[in-house]
Amino acid sequence: MIEQKGILFILSGPSGVGKGTVREHLFKQKTDLQYSISMTTRDKREGEVDGVDYFYKSREEFETLIEQDELLEYAKYVDNYYGTPRKYVEETLASGKDVFLEIEVQGAMQVKKRFPQGVFIFLFPPSLDELKNRILGRGTESEELVLNRLREARNEIEMMHAYDYVVVNDEVQRAVDKVQAIIASEHCRRERIEADYKKILEAEL
C-alpha cells in the first residue's frame, strides 16, 4: 500500500439525511479537497454527467472492477452497485492532497477496515420523522421504498459508534460549517503529530 500523506475524510449516514446536499455546499466553498467520483451501475439521471457525478458502468464492467481489486470499497444499494476507485484515492493521498468520500454506511465500514486512520463523519437526521419527510420530499421513492429505507436507517444509525464525529443536519449551512471545522481541526491534529515526530527525530541525532 502507498504511504498516506493527505487526509481521507468520509461523510456517511442514512439515505435521505442530506449527504449529497451537504457535500455540494461544502465543495462550493472549499477547493482544496479532492472529491472522489464513484463508480455506479445505476442509470444516469437527467442533468448528470459521466465522469462528473459518477462513472457509469455496466454490471459486468463493475464486477470486473471488483475482481481486479480496483475498488477501495463497494456496496449494493437498492439493486445497484456503488464503489470508490482505489487507485485514485491512494494516489491522491500519496501526493499530499486530502480526499473526500460521500458514501453509504456499508461502504464506509469497509473503508474503516482499510484506512482506519481516515476521518469518519456521520451525518445524523434531526429526527426520524424529519428523515421520512426528506426522503418523501425528494420524491424519488415509492411509499414502500421509503419504509424500507427508514427501516435500513435504524440499522445504519446503530453503526454511528464506529464514527469519529456526528454532525446533525438540521440546517444545511450549519452542518457544512461543522464539517469545515472538523477538517480544520484534523489539520491541526496532523500538524501536532508531525511536530512531535520531528522532535523525536531531532532528539535522536
Ligand X SMILES: Nc1ncnc2c1ncn2[C@@H]1O[C@H](COP(=O)(O)OP(=O)(O)O)[C@@H](O)[C@H]1O
Nearer to ligand GDP, 71 or 183 (CB): 71
- Residue of this chain nearest to ligand X (CB atom): 18
Phi, psi of 144 (to 5 degrees): -65, -45
Strand, coil or helix: what is 134? helix
Q: How far is the CB of 116 from ligand X (least distance, A)?
A: 24
* Alpha-carbon gap, residue 54 to 70, rounded angstroms: 16
Q: Is 163 left (phi over 0), alpha (psi -120 to 50) or beta?
A: beta
Residue nearest to ligand GDP (CB): 107
User: What is the smallest separation between the CB atom of 198 and ligand GDP, expressed in angstroms?
Assistant: 36
| Contacting residues toward ligand X, per CB under 6 A | 15-21, 134, 137-138, 169, 171-172
Residue 6 is labelled as binding a ligand: no
178 is in the binding site of which of ligand GDP, ligand X, none (Cβ under 5 to 8 A by kind)? Answer: none
- Helix boundaries (H) for 7-127: 19-29, 59-67, 86-94, 105-114
17 binds, among ligand X, ligand GDP, none (CB under 5 to 8 A by kind): ligand X
Q: Is 92 in the site for ligand GDP (CB under 6 A)?
A: no
Residue closer to ligand X by CB (options 15, 106) is 15
Indicate whether 104 belongs to the interface with ligand GDP (CB under 6 A).
yes
Q: Which of 7, 9, 10, 15 binds ligand GDP (CB under 6 A)?
A: 15
Identify the burial level of 42 via C-beta atoms within 10 angstroms of its C-beta, where 0-12 means exposed, 13-18 middle and 19 or more buried. Answer: middle
C-beta of 175: minimal distance to ligand GDP in Å?
A: 15
**All three cell numbers of 121:** 463523519
Which of 93, 125, 78 has its CA nearest to residue 1?
93
Q: DSSP per residue over 69-88, as a string?
A: T-EEEEEEETTEEEEEEHHH
- Residue 42 near ligand GDP by CB under 6 A: yes
Contact between 83 and ligand GDP (CB under 6 A)?
Answer: yes
Distances (CA, A) of 105 to 19, 63, 109, 144: 11, 20, 6, 21
**Residue list for the binding site:** 13-20
**Residue list for the binding site for ATP:** 13-20
Which chain residues interact with ligand GDP by CB under 6 A?
15, 19-20, 38, 42, 73, 75, 77, 82-84, 102-104, 107
